[in-house]
Amino acid sequence: MDTKTFKRSLHQSEQYHRKGFGHEAAVSALLDSEYKSNLIQEIRDNGYTLVRGNVTIRLAEAFGFCWGVERAIALAYETRQQFPKERIWITNEIIHNPSVNKNLRDMAVEFIPVDERGQKDFSIVEGSDVVILPAFGASVQEMQLLTQKGCTIMDTTCPWVSKVWNSVEKHKKSDYTSIIHGKYQHEETIATSSFAGTYLIVLNLEEAEYVCRYILESEESEERRSQRKAEFLAKFKNAHSDDFDPETDLVRVGVANQTTMLKGETEQIGKLFERTMMRKYGPTTLNDHFMSFNTICDATQERQDAMFQLVDEPLDLMVVIGGYNSSNTTHLQEISIEKNIPSYHIDSADRIGPGNCVEHKPLNQSLTLTENWLPKGPLVVGITSGASTPDRVVSDVVKKIFALKSAAVA
């Protein structure tokens, strides 16, 4: 499929929009009232530190809403103002934050339902409807379907995500396989892979090392080659393009990523594939076998860098705030865990209490209730939040912590 031509045609359509409708001032005021916080601004102005009683709050110096998220929410709000009576759908969560998505539902923005197989049911969408594409983007197939139906489309895809799409299209044009560092079931990676030609999705450095060993190893026995290939395809089930053949599709590779992955790991994976192709084919022909572009989101990088800086300070515990299905929030939690700091991932202040307990999500585990999570005596609490978390939510968490400590015996 010529995805570049399709995108060009879509962008020229009168039914397609990726800018506002002139309601910026009204929407900005509304967003400020719903999502911003005077308390958080006070903490920023005070060097990202606030002390009350025996509690010190240390905020990461980059946290919360990024520009792409703010843009997506603003465009969604503008869409409702521009089309006050039309049915409006969104193909997925606008961002991974429960309060923001609830606000959209309260504005009668409906979410495309998902059937028992996990497939979206677009049959309920009519040509007269308006459909919002979320910040993570949507697949080429979804955009084609909506275009064929004649829907009005508001595209809030983050420009950083679009940048990754451009990279995998360049891979495809030059007959390179796209190695995508991401989660194969994540909507952003689903969208990215739809713009790729041949692709393979690796979750982490461990999976990338497995692929590179496969590239470097050679088997003389046809039976062993066949067995090794079957093992490879089983390991990456659901994480590669149709008819992917590791014997032929790993000769020329390009690296891209889901924008919310750990910056350091993406860089390691890129360097690993570069070294592997150099070992396999020699330095003089490297450019014939390896292609890489910098597709790490600036906002993701800034939040991770700020988190690394924060966890180097003396902290008694860390609170990471964001949706449980938020990839960038989960990676912030990983940074805290690597430093052996007690870490609590919550999606809202409602997870705190009653009493000195918290319902949180340990890394790669189900929700857990922990009692007496705030120890007695002086306490230094580090706080950060994912790129989809409003300041108001962070403020509510800070207030709950202060209230719990003031009510407890010092």
Residue of 70, 169, 187, 188 with catalytic role: 188
* 388 vs 118, higher pLDDT: 388
Quick: pLDDT tens for 132-175.
Answer: 999 999 999 999 999 999 999 999 999 999 999 999 999 999 99
pLDDT at 61 over 90: yes
Question: Which structural domains are found in the chain, ordered by start?
Answer: 35-65+299-407 (3.40.1010.20), 68-158 (3.40.50.11270), 160-296 (3.40.1010.20)
Q: What contacts 349, CB < 8 A, 6 or more positions away? A: 393, 396, 397, 399, 400
Report how far Cα 41 is from the mean position of its chain's Cα atoms.
25
Residue among 341, 311, 332 nearest 386 (CA): 332
Average pLDDT, stretch 285-311? 89
Q: How far are the Cα atoms of 10, 112, 116, 206 from residue 124, in angstroms, in the given order? A: 22, 8, 16, 42
Write down the H helix ranges in 83-204.
Answer: 98-106, 140-149, 159-173, 187-195
Q: Are 320 and 304 in contact (CB under 8 A)?
A: no
pLDDT at 410 over 60: no
Q: How far are the Cα atoms of 180, 198, 398 from residue 405, in angstroms, in the given order? A: 45, 55, 11
Q: What contacts 237, CB < 8 A, 6 or more positions away? A: none
Q: Which H or E run contains 267?
A: helix 263-281
Residue 188 annotated to the active site: yes
Residues paired with 240 in a beta bridge: 200
